[in-house]
Chain A
Amino acid sequence: MLEGLVSPESLSLSYADMSVPERLKWLQQHQQQEVLSLSSNDSPDLLQILQFHGSNNDELLQSTFSHFQMVGSGFGTNYNMGFGHSHEAMDGYISRTSSCQIHSPDTMGVMLKNSEENRAISLKNKRKSEVKTREEEKTEKKIKVEAETESNISNKEASSDTSKETSKGASQIQKLDYIHVRARRGEATDRHSLAERARREKISKKMKYLQDLVPGCNTVTGKAGVLDEIINYVQSLQRQVEFLSMKLAVINPELELGVEDLSVKQFQAYFTNFPVVIASKPSVMVDVPLFPLDQQGSLNLSVSNPNQTSIDAPSESWETQSQSLFASVLR
């Protein structure tokens, strides 16, 4: 369970002494170290880093958010990240008044249900090098979270947070029902466009996952091309299923899958060497689908088509290997 805490107690004195540019430099120095450790560590380290730095640096926040996104991608849906932290109203120092909550995986189930209903928007900070330029327009929007469970948990975390937080300026422990989203420069800041923007970003994130999943999608740019590739891929997979079921019906009239004789271990070894299905383009697929090779040399079960004569030389070695395996498996 992540409890986002920011306790700049260790820093408060030193912060006060340093002037703003010195502070920036100091933070940047540490940030580089921490970013490296961030990318390889788990969330407990993340907490330490946040506590240590007081999270007043844009780039650090950005890296933490990207880390959270990596963690959160396993959850698949939107999530609210949160750490309350002090609000400093310093001249020329960009203050952050963002607050949200990091939720445990227990609440993910609830949030999955509510994801369609509520307008909760995940926090995004996109500015990188504009920390130094002090002419940024800052706007904030409070968007009320409608889910009750979130506010309950947030209240619990808020009470634990407030005890540990020391504030320099006016420390606003935000009403944790609200999610603050920072608008980008030159963009509309009304509620609807922000919601739309968050929705669009969610969609583009999911499309990126799809691009990783579907082979051959990396070259195409733009939503339409990626969608096209996805459609082709799904259709080819469905056609493969049809073809394989027909083949199985022909080969195996008793519909005996023959698995009962096998030991579990052998079968597990069988499955772990599965290459990912790589489909060919529909135009190329004739009677028997032909799949490109996998990098794993040893057990290449994808291409084992005795009817195909085009790939002769490499297939021979596989077939001997695969047959030896099958012999052991089927015995």
Chain B
Amino acid sequence: MQPTSSMNEQFLKNWQMGLQIFRPSIDNTSVSERKRAIKLSADVAMASLRKGTTCWSRALIQKAATEDSFLVRQMLAGIKEETLINRKLPKIVCHRKIVRRSKKILMRRKSSSAMEEVTAKAKKLVKRKTKGLRNVVPGGEFMSNNVLLIQETLDYIVSLQTQVNVMRSIVDAAEAGVER
């Protein structure tokens, strides 16, 4: 699935709305603050496209709310802001010591043939990669199973692509305007 033009337009509208909210307090801001505001409003705009249906969008809005809850609230005006912002999802906790000890016991019991070792190593590698993916995708730690994780990454990638496309075109237009 590729980002559609309607997605681009919607994202742009939401982003503009966010920037307009920020604009009154713009006089004494430094570059880094402006950049932060831009990025934040872009992220919230991207997440609000999904209207709370996906896990990553909720997590992204929560993260943005910790940085600038006023902006987020204004941007999401009317779309169940309170529930989105204040909800805390249960985190998956693994006590590492216990897990490691039980794994050691299991390994001792098993008699490892060559084939089993290979598959075990492959599985470990895949697990490590999925953990890495959970770290990258917002809200990845809260996704209980791998199917959900992959679905969410799919949606997240498409949304990121729209975001980058729109932002890049705006930057290009602004640059071309400055050059002339």
Contacts and interface: CB of A to CB of B under 8 A. Distances in A.
Interface of A: 76-77, 116, 199, 202-203, 206-207, 209-210, 213-214, 222-224, 227-228, 230-231, 233-235, 237-238, 240-242, 244-255, 257-259, 267-268, 270-272, 274, 276-277, 301-302, 304, 306, 322-323, 326-327, 329-330
B174 to A, nearest CB: 5
Interface stretch (B61-69, B79-87, B151-159): B151-159
5 closest cross-chain pairs (CB), A and B: A227-B129, A249-B35, A249-B34, A326-B176, A245-B39
B167 to A, nearest CB: 4
Contacts of A235: 136
A248 B38 contact: yes
B98 interface: no
Nearest to A225: B129
Interface of B: 1-3, 5, 8-9, 12, 15-16, 19, 22-23, 26, 31-32, 34-35, 37-39, 42-43, 122, 125-126, 129-130, 132-133, 136-137, 145-148, 150-151, 153-154, 156-158, 160-161, 163-180
B8 A271 contact: yes
B164 A241 contact: yes
Given A245-B38, A255-B34, A322 B172 contact: yes
Nearest to A291: B168
B169 A277 contact: no
A304 B172 contact: yes
Nearest to B19: A255
B16 A259 contact: yes
Given A214-B157, A248-B170, A271 B5 contact: yes
A30 to B, nearest CB: 34
Contacts of B130: 227
16 contacts: A77-B151, A213-B157, A233-B157, A234-B136, A234-B157, A237-B164, A240-B168, A244-B164, A248-B174, A252-B174, A255-B34, A255-B38, A258-B177, A276-B2, A304-B176, A322-B172
A274 B136 CA distance: 26
Contact of A258 (B37, B173, B175, B180): B173
A270 B160 CA distance: 19
A184 to B, nearest CB: 19
A234 B136 CA distance: 7
Given A206-B154, A231-B136, A259-B16, A246 B35 contact: yes
A301 B175 CA distance: 12
Nearest to A76: B151
Given A227-B132, A231-B129, A255 B22 contact: yes
A77 B176 CA distance: 44
Given A237-B164, A242-B39, A250 B31 contact: yes
Contacts of A241: 39, 42-43, 160, 163-164, 167
Contacts of B126: 223-224, 227
Contacts of B129: 223-224, 227-228, 231
Contacts of A222: 122
A277 B26 contact: no
Contact of A272 (B5, B34, B39, B179): B5
B160 A234 contact: yes
B141 to A, nearest CB: 15
Contacts of B177: 258, 326, 330
